[in-house]
Amino acid sequence: MSTTISVPPQLLLERILTLEIVRVTERAAVSAARLRGHGDEKGADQAAVDAMRRELNKMPIEGTVVIGEGERDEAPMLFIGEKVGAGIDAGPKVDIAVDPLEGTTLCAKNMPGSIATMAMAEGGTLLHAPDVYMQKIAIGPGYDKGVIDIDAPPEENIRRLAQAKDVPIHGITALVLDRPRHAELISKIRATGAGVQLITDGDVAGVIHCADPENTGVDIYIGTGGAPEGVLAAAALRCIGGQMQCRLLLDTYSKRNRAESMGIEDPNFVYQIEDMVKGDCLFAATGVTDGSLLSGVKFRKNVIQTETVVMRSVTGTVRYIKADHRQFEKFHLD
């Protein structure tokens, strides 16, 4: 005679958010890492997407992808609105945000900083954002509200942060995506006396870096990047603390119309972290290539090694998981 054990929903959610989500980003990272340095951005992205989808569909959840890859990159995608998980009655309803391979170029060129990442939250609590550009400004924990203002000039934000941190302006370092659109921004930041650290890709990891300035040397993230990455970064900051303000760049009728169809009524709304991630959430990322946030996948003779960071907002817990995968043939066959 079989016995059914009833598991309270919150405990099931916690189990999913601590271990099973790690498997999702691990598999995506390993699949993408097989194509490191091959110069095949779309191939690596496809491998990560396929692996992530397979793992998500094994999970005891009723999940909806609310942040996925999109039209702008013309890439293989876990599309917005896609249903994942074992299905109805399998487990809790959750919102999912994914970037199966952040830093596709970094992976293709085997450069530092490529990661596989995702966030999971209670159903109906993640911002449904279209795949458009987003203005972003973020700092780490420990500051009073109002230190940063997305509508203030960058010079003012730098000065405010230096004052709040009680350091001279030259003691502040801003992280900015190295893009032509940021040339004026970079000049204005440097004109204050602050330093600028440039990254070629990977602004999810970039935002996370400003949450730990003592180890990363990054105090503030400023610039324009993808909206999906913005929501993922907000999920991470909700877990580890910090401030972030964002605004969608809906500069065409088609973008505004798409945003409206997703429930966004005010195209100029300034989003705080709490507007983008309203409930309990978890963020996970696994390194694909070596970087300052995570080590990349290592293919040893009899083992595959991965490093993952997993965070949960309700507890503020941050775990780094270094794993040795000895049944590595499963990474070929699953």
Binding-site residues for Mn(2+), in ranges, read: 45, 69, 99, 102, 229
Instruction: Report whether 46 contacts 14 (CB < 8 A).
Output: no
Binding-site positions:
45, 69, 99, 102-104, 133, 179-181, 201-203, 226, 229
Query: What are the start-end ranges of the E strands in the chain?
Result: 62-67, 83-84, 93-102, 115-122, 133-139, 173-177, 195-199, 220-226, 243-248, 271-272, 281-287, 298-299, 304-312, 317-325
Q: How far apart are CA 291 and CA 262, in angstroms?
A: 35
Binding-site positions for substrate:
102-104, 133, 179-181, 201-203, 226
Q: How far apart are CA 242 and CA 220, in angstroms?
A: 10
The sign of the torsion formed by the CA atoms of 57, 58, 62, 68 equals negative
Q: How far apart are CA 88 and CA 72, in angstroms?
A: 32
In order, the DSSP letters of 117-167 are EEEEEETT-B----SSEEEEEEE-SSS-TTS--TTS-HHHHHHHHHHHHTS
Instruction: Report whether 224 contacts 181 (CB < 8 A).
Output: yes
Q: How far apart are CA 122 and CA 145, in angstroms?
A: 26
Nearest CA among 101, 102, 99 for reference residue 80: 99
304-312 and 281-287 as β-strands: parallel, antiparallel, unpaired? antiparallel
Instruction: Report whether 149 contacts 142 (CB < 8 A).
Output: no
Tell me, what DSSP letter sits at residue 277?
Answer: B
Strand, coil or helix: 24: helix
